[in-house]
Amino acid sequence: MLTALAASYDSGFYGMGGGMLYGLYDPTYILVLIGLVITLIASANVKRTFNRYDKIGSRRGITAAEAARKILDANGLYNIRIERVSGNLTDHFSPKENVIRLSDATFNSTSIAALGVAAHECGHAVQHQVGYVPIKIRNGIVPFVNVCSYASIPIIIIGIILGATGLAYVGVALFCAVLAFQIITLPTETNASSRAIKTLESMNLLDSEELAGAKKVLMAAAMTYFASVASTALQLFRLLLIINNSRRRD
């Protein structure tokens, strides 16, 4: 999943914490702003790069859906369906449903960008087939991380309000699980992109010049995940500063 997953486990709690508890001025907001700028730049870059190479059709003229079917069949994944899903860059692989969903911008497109995205999602399917360890770990901790994502900030706030530093740090520990999830996601995404490029080349779906463009699209997408990690790490640092300031005030 190229961009959706990058935001799925971002903290999403910008504006909560220090400003609410300590008044209108909170210098730690600079960390929020830095994280926001990083993610916005990464998001804008992937859209710009995708749009650039989405205008360049592949010489073979094969659609992304057709390319995905060829890649899956070549890996013996005949049971995985390919479906169309609404939206732009909403492409993803659902292992529970055995389906790759390609967005409106990708499904019938013959562009370099579309084929790169489709091959990337096939890369995730192959990861499941071969038992790629990082993706097994990532999928295994999803339910726990979902709980941590929703519970961490409220627990931290309650701990600060009650002056219970220990409770606040429990919330921080839960928040660390969100960051750990994002870090584990990095190799799953970069590996899927690496598999995609190798497959597009070995199956002659793109030539060497076209592969260079597909690499740029997938690299830009990967940067959104790194940006998400950086943003969450900055938010974690901010939370620690807020807790430390609260302890000093008590």
Catalytic residue positions? 121
Residue-level length of the chain: 250
Distances (CA, A) of 102 to 68, 88, 118, 175: 9, 9, 7, 32
Q: How far apart are CA 245 and CA 243, in angstroms?
A: 5
Q: How, if at all, do strands 92-94 and 81-85 pair?
A: unpaired
Per DSSP, the residues of 120-148 read HHHHHHHHHHHT-HHHHHHHHHHHHHHHH
Question: Other C-beta atoms within 10 Å of 133: how many?
Answer: 12
